[in-house]
Amino acid sequence: MADVQLDGLTSDPVTMGWMVGAPPPPDRRILGARADHMRFPMIRWSYSNMRSFCPTVRIAASGKGTPFPRALRDDLGAVRFTPLGSQGEISFDDALLAAFTDGILVLHKGEVVFERWFGVTGPETRHIAFSVTKSFVGTLVQMLVGEGRIDLAARVDSVIPELARSGFGSATIGQVLDMTTALDFSEEYGNPNSGIGAYSAALGLTPRPASYTGPHNLWDYLTTVPGAGTHGERFVYRTPNTDVLAWIITRIEGKPFAEVLSERLWQPLGMLGDADLIVDEAGAPFAGGGLNLRLEDLARFGEALRLGGLGVIPESDVDRIWRGGDPERFHKDAYPLLGGWSYGSQWWHAGDNHGCFSARGIHGQTLWVDPASEMVIARFASHPTAANGANDPHSLPAWRALAEALKA
Amino acid sequence: MADVQLDGLTSDPVTMGWMVGAPPPPDRRILGARADHMRFPMIRWSYSNMRSFCPTVRIAASGKGTPFPRALRDDLGAVRFTPLGSQGEISFDDALLAAFTDGILVLHKGEVVFERWFGVTGPETRHIAFSVTKSFVGTLVQMLVGEGRIDLAARVDSVIPELARSGFGSATIGQVLDMTTALDFSEEYGNPNSGIGAYSAALGLTPRPASYTGPHNLWDYLTTVPGAGTHGERFVYRTPNTDVLAWIITRIEGKPFAEVLSERLWQPLGMLGDADLIVDEAGAPFAGGGLNLRLEDLARFGEALRLGGLGVIPESDVDRIWRGGDPERFHKDAYPLLGGWSYGSQWWHAGDNHGCFSARGIHGQTLWVDPASEMVIARFASHPTAANGANDPHSLPAWRALAEALKA
């Protein structure tokens, strides 16, 4: 099944016929018990249908949201650019296929100027955002910082005593927020013995081996992550930092994370639709990557940040998000394509002359904010490769080329 | 945990503190892996949160629904009546506790005259409707009959050849609709070796034993149900009949059941919110009992039927639903409290002088339509006993007493 020869076009989930029919033919079923929903090419269907594989809770919208106005510019599909490390130009339309795009929206000055849907993904689809989820969490943290309810200089174990003996306990909340914690944890996808492998087993997103004896939920798991080294020295991307942040938010707010996200962002921002948040068997939110939302609602989040928070996120909090992290602390070896970038407040910052910042999730999930160009791009994808290094060569220069085209 | 001494008040899920905290205390966790979500008193929480235990799909609302007007009459809580088999009177308010009510709405002439919420259940909660789901399915069948796309006299296997060798194959669709099929299947809850036990194992609503070798989805399961006797002779309530109907609807419409339900009822009736439909691992809908919806949307369905379908369900189809089944074929032994009743089109008919008909689900889920009194009652509950015989003594006379009170 995992035919790596399939490209963005031939892996189209409608063409492949996943889960069509009652019952679907056996070779066209996507079985969670086999972890099919996390394997290419089945992910081209499953990432748009995660609630049918995982326990979820509802992030309630207000029901009063209105769509962005449309001012579509179909010429944008023909915009040409040179992918990183390539010789020849390709068109933006071709790049969409190269990125295994499921849906993309480009906002310019608050209007949708470009919109494309592929496969089984459409405007109402709740597509998994993976680590784009983290940027929602980081924004909530900054809002609580602004209210004086979170002190970024405080130690994690002052809020979550359960983490005292873990590697997180001695870190400051600010270090967790910027992922400069020093932990014995590797974010190596596909290796069940890596940190992220153990994290995934605790979360239960795919079936656990029968011999599994580890933690059965994220809260218990987080208490087991050992420290290694000195906090604050360098940024190393490690997903469970975000789950610690969600735990802190939940403890401080005294209510489930899903409710906080609904009350503080989903409802006041006028999101168009409820979102689905994956939870584990104890009810812990998969804050590191479990948000499933409408693409236009993702764009709305970016637009709100571009415009200073729209009165929902206080401007001083948005300022701290815009500021980014310390490029000197960036994990340069891990991201050869991201020279000059930094990571701060659970956001990625390009460090370019447009002030661009981004939320990024595996397999190509993207929210790209280009303040100088008054442009926001939201993209869902199901690229065969988890790491965004596989997508960036086609994506980062495309965003810049779009910005240039929109000047015209 | 399963303290049968708990009553409607002392089993309140807020008081008991289920799933509160991050993490919830071990003795206050409801674990799907332990099947806690299907056991009293945990069901007082879980029946309002089923999507966090089960895979689900979305039944999309239009987003344009408006609530019923409120004309609350708080005197109704003091209405007194005599429960069946009892000597003394109780008040309607007391009866709500006796029924382990989670939420109740009473509509009179299209206005909400009574509304109560308990525990963790509120207006936005999607509470499991259990077999109330069946009446949505039966209504869809009658709509397709009205369009000439389903022939109730046709054999099941003429539409679903996969069922040819099962007990359903030789039945007519009309016999399935009225549950007069003759099957080797017992609806004996709590017995894993009963028909409903095997059905549940295939569905996977609770964990399967490690030794389980049976079917892993409802479609495969339905092909295994044997026949026993002659179809059409008498009504015997057997849940998988409804899953056969959903299979027929899906086959005829050529789209997933959830989409049919959304397009034909949820959107045109102006339901207030999306609903959650439980699916099994192959994507088969739990049509026999897996709908989770807002209580007011359940009331809306009843009101639409009371008013002749509101142009959404053609009046001639509503007429056939109102007509009910054949009381002579009713399973009198099984329902000593339901003298004179009948079952038709997946609806229960009281056969009384008000023309009352009802959708009924285990643990107290109810939609009660009293045409003569222009009254509709929707109730969610989490009674410790599955069978509605436990609820009926407090409920049936209460509905009648309310109807009398509303005349005044």
Phi, psi of A113 (to 5 degrees): -100, -15
CA distance, residue A262 to nearest chain B CA (Å) = 13
| Pairwise CA distance, residues B27 & B17, whole Å | 10
Query: What value, to the nearest 5°, has the Cα angle with vertex B385 and ends B379 and B390?
Result: 70
DSSP 3-state assignment of B40? coil
Last residue of a domain, one of B242, B268, B291: B291
Known catalytic membership, residue A131:
yes
B348-404 tens-digit pLDDT: 999 999 999 999 999 999 999 999 999 999 999 999 999 988 999 999 999 999 999
- A35, A123: one domain: no
Would you say B244 and B168 are in contact if contact means Cβ atoms under 8 Å apart?
yes
Q: DSSP assignment of B237-281, as one string?
A: --THHHHHHHHHHHHHHTS-HHHHHIIIIITTTT-SS-EEEEB-T
B329-338 tens-digit pLDDT: 998 888 999 9
Compare CB distances from B51 to A55, A217, A282 and report the shortest one's residue: A55
Burial of B159 (0-12, 13-18, 19+ CB in 10 A): middle
The number of beta carbons lying within 10 Å of the beta carbon of residue A5 is 6
- Identify whether A103 is part of a domain: no
The number of beta carbons lying within 10 Å of the beta carbon of residue B25 is 10
Instruction: Answer whether A55 sits within 8 Å of B32, measured CB to CB.
Output: yes
B55-76 tens-digit pLDDT: 999 999 999 999 999 999 989 9
Would you say B302 and B104 are in contact if contact means Cβ atoms under 8 Å apart?
no
- B221, B208: one domain: yes
Phi, psi of A357 (to 5 degrees): -140, 165
B223-236 tens-digit pLDDT: 999 999 999 999 99
B103-160 tens-digit pLDDT: 999 999 999 999 999 999 999 999 999 999 999 999 999 999 999 999 999 999 999 9
Compare CB distances from A279 to B52, B60, B284 and report the shortest one's residue: B52
pLDDT at B359: 98
| Pairwise CA distance, residues B115 & B96, whole Å | 11
Whether cis (ω within 30° of 0) applies to the bond prior to A23 is yes
Whether the pLDDT of residue A47 is over 80: the answer is yes
State the pLDDT confidence band at B281, using cuts at 50, 70 and 90: very high
Whether the pLDDT of residue B290 is over 90: the answer is yes
What is the pLDDT of chain A when averaged over all its residues? Answer: 96
Whether the pLDDT of residue B4 is over 80: the answer is no
CATH of the domain at B286: 3.40.710.10
Q: DSSP assignment of A74-124, as one string?
A: GGGGG-EE--TT-SS-EEHHHHHHHTTEEEEEEEETTEEEEEEE-TT--TT
Whether the pLDDT of residue B216 is over 80: the answer is yes
Phi, psi of B203 (to 5 degrees): -65, -40
DSSP A227: B
Stretch B259-273: mean pLDDT: 98
- A269, A388: one domain: yes
State the pLDDT confidence band at A38, using cuts at 50, 70 and 90: very high
Amino acid found at B178? D
- Partners of B279 on chain A (C-beta within 8 Å) are 52
Q: Which of A407, A340, A405 is closest to A81 using CA atoms? A: A405
Scanning every residue of chain A, which has its alpha carbon at the shortest distance from the alpha carbon of B126?
A58
The number of beta carbons lying within 10 Å of the beta carbon of residue B153 is 8
- A128, A35: one domain: no
A66-95 tens-digit pLDDT: 999 999 998 999 999 999 999 899 999 999
pLDDT at A385: 95
Burial of A39 (0-12, 13-18, 19+ CB in 10 A): middle
- Identify whether A7 is part of a domain: no
Tokens of B74: 């708080």
Which residues are within 8 A (CB) of A46 and not within 5 positions of it... i.e. 6 or more apart? A30, A36, A37, A38, A53
Whether the pLDDT of residue A3 is over 70: the answer is no
Q: Which of B268, B235, B286 is closest to B130 using CA atoms? A: B286
Whether the pLDDT of residue A354 is over 90: the answer is yes
pLDDT at A1: 47
- B276, B321: one domain: no
Q: State what percent of residues in chain B have pLDDT above 90.
A: 94
Which of B46, B131, B200, B342 is an active site residue? B131
Which residues are within 8 A (CB) of A394 and not within 5 positions of it... i.e. 6 or more apart? A83, A90, A95, A98, A99
Tokens of A66: 């209105």
- A123, A28: one domain: no
| Pairwise CA distance, residues A394 & B197, whole Å | 53
- Identify whether B123 is part of a domain: no
The number of beta carbons lying within 10 Å of the beta carbon of residue B7 is 12
- Identify whether B59 is part of a domain: no
What is the pLDDT of chain B when averaged over all its residues? Answer: 96
- B36, B146: one domain: no
- Partners of B63 on chain A (C-beta within 8 Å) are 63
- A316, A180: one domain: yes
3-state helix, strand, coil in chain A (%, to 5): 35, 15, 50
pLDDT at A4: 56
A150-196 tens-digit pLDDT: 999 999 999 999 999 999 999 999 999 999 999 999 998 877 788 99
- B73, B218: one domain: no
Buried b (16+ CB within 10 A) or exposed e, B303-327: bbbbbbbbeebeeebbebbbebbeb
CA distance, residue B400 to nearest chain A CA (Å) = 36
Q: Which of B400, B398, B392 is closest to B334 using CA atoms? A: B392
Amino acid found at B118? F
Phi, psi of A245 (to 5 degrees): -60, -45
Query: What value, to the nearest 5°, has the Cα angle with vertex A190 and ends A325 and A118?
Result: 80
- B165, B269: one domain: yes
| Pairwise CA distance, residues B220 & B203, whole Å | 10
Q: How many domains does chain B have?
A: 3
pLDDT at B210: 87
Q: DSSP assignment of B279-305, as one string?
A: B-TTS-B-TTT-EEE-HHHHHHHHHHH
Tokens of B238: 């057997």
DSSP A263: I
- B171, B187: one domain: yes
Last residue of a domain, one of B266, B291, B316: B291
pLDDT at B3: 53
Would you say A286 and A278 are in contact if contact means Cβ atoms under 8 Å apart?
yes
Whether the pLDDT of residue A331 is over 90: the answer is no
DSSP 3-state assignment of B407? helix
| Pairwise CA distance, residues B268 & A28, whole Å | 32
Tokens of B315: 């009046």
Instruction: Answer whether B52 sits within 8 Å of A57, measured CB to CB.
Output: yes
3-state helix, strand, coil in chain B (%, to 5): 35, 15, 50
- Partners of A220 on chain B (C-beta within 8 Å) are 23
Instruction: Answer whether A247 sits within 8 Å of B22, measured CB to CB.
Output: yes
The number of beta carbons lying within 10 Å of the beta carbon of residue B372 is 12
- Identify whether A216 is part of a domain: yes
Which of A11, A46, A48, A131 is an active site residue? A131
pTM for the full predicted model? 0.97
- Identify whether A199 is part of a domain: yes
A371-405 tens-digit pLDDT: 999 999 999 999 999 998 899 999 999 999 999 99
**Residues of the domain holding A148:** 117-407
- Identify whether A25 is part of a domain: yes
ipTM of this model? Answer: 0.96
- Partners of B60 on chain A (C-beta within 8 Å) are 124
- Identify whether B57 is part of a domain: no
| Pairwise CA distance, residues B159 & B170, whole Å | 11
By residue count, chain B amounts to: 408
| Pairwise CA distance, residues B148 & B135, whole Å | 20
- B286, B298: one domain: no
DSSP 3-state assignment of B343? strand
